[in-house]
Amino acid sequence: MPEAGGVDAVIFDWGGTLTRWHDVDFHAESLALAQAVVNSHHEHHVHAQRLHAAGDAIWGRSRDRQQSSTIADLFDEAGLDHDPELLGAYREFWEPHTPTDPEVGPLFEALRADGIRVGVLSNTIWPRAWHRDFFERDGVLRLIDGDVYTSEIPWTKPSPNAFGAAMQAVGATDPARCVYVGDRLFDDVWGAQNAGMRAVHIPLSTIPAHQVGHTEGEPDAVAHRLSEVHTIVSGWA
């Protein structure tokens, strides 16, 4: 693990970290996705079943090979054509799960006041615009110095390449002077440490067994609420 000695940037996971953990009905998610299918004579529930299986496949590749995917890749995996203009129901399904934790704004402002850059690195199939819309809605987009979404790069966490892309986005060059904050011991803690960063664990999420990777990291610190991250980082800075 990196030795103590200053912090240039703190980079955050999104779901389960900057947003509160929610249990999700993935069957309902697939039904919402299926509304974007075109040029198919199958019944709606068949589309949903194929999309659900495709989701398991692409997130399995993320877990096991750190291979990224997009929404288009999900439909391709399911063997279905889709119209991106018809994804409204899918986005609306997820809207209730997207509110930014109220402690995020004050935390980001405190870090930036200390001269520490703030970043986001999220494993996601969604386009950049969706995430930035949610940050803008909740008044924190202006406080983010750099953000990377794996839908736009070849890798997912815990690949060191994904963390390197996030460092580049915030203008940081030394991983030993960067901190990553996330809710998953594989993707976020082990991944960040393997990339040379310190890692803060937010242990508030119920990670499904099939999403747990081959290794779990031992965090450098644990925060039971986001407001605690500033105190932790101040101790290192």
**Any domain includes 4:** no
**Any domain includes 1:** no
Which domain, by its residues, includes 172? 9-20+99-236
3-state SS record for the chain: CCCCCCCCEEEECCCCCCECCCCCCHHHHHHHHHCCEECCCCCHHHHHHHHHHHHHHHHHHHHHHCECCCHHHHHHHHCCEECHHHCHHHHHHHHHHCCECCCHHHHHHHHHHCCCEEEEEECCCCCHHHHHHHHHHCCCHHHCCEEEEHHHCCECCCCHHHHHHHHHHHCCCCHHHEEEEECCHHHHHHHHHHCCCEEEECCCCCCCHHHCCCCCCCCCEECCCCCHHHHHHHHHC
CATH of the domain at 167: 3.40.50.1000
Residue 215 is predicted with a pLDDT of: 83
Domain-ending residue, one of 78, 96, 114: 96
Flag whether pLDDT at 3 surpasses 50: no
Residue 46 is predicted with a pLDDT of: 92
Domain-ending residue, one of 77, 96, 115: 96
Overall domain count for the chain: 2
Q: What is the pLDDT of residues 92-144, one digit of tens each?
A: 999 999 999 999 999 999 999 999 999 999 999 999 999 999 999 999 999 99
**pTM score of the predicted model:** 0.94
Q: What is the pLDDT of residues 181-222, one digit of tens each?
A: 999 999 999 999 999 999 999 998 777 777 777 888 899 999
Residue 105 is predicted with a pLDDT of: 98
**Any domain includes 3:** no
Same domain, 151 and 203: yes
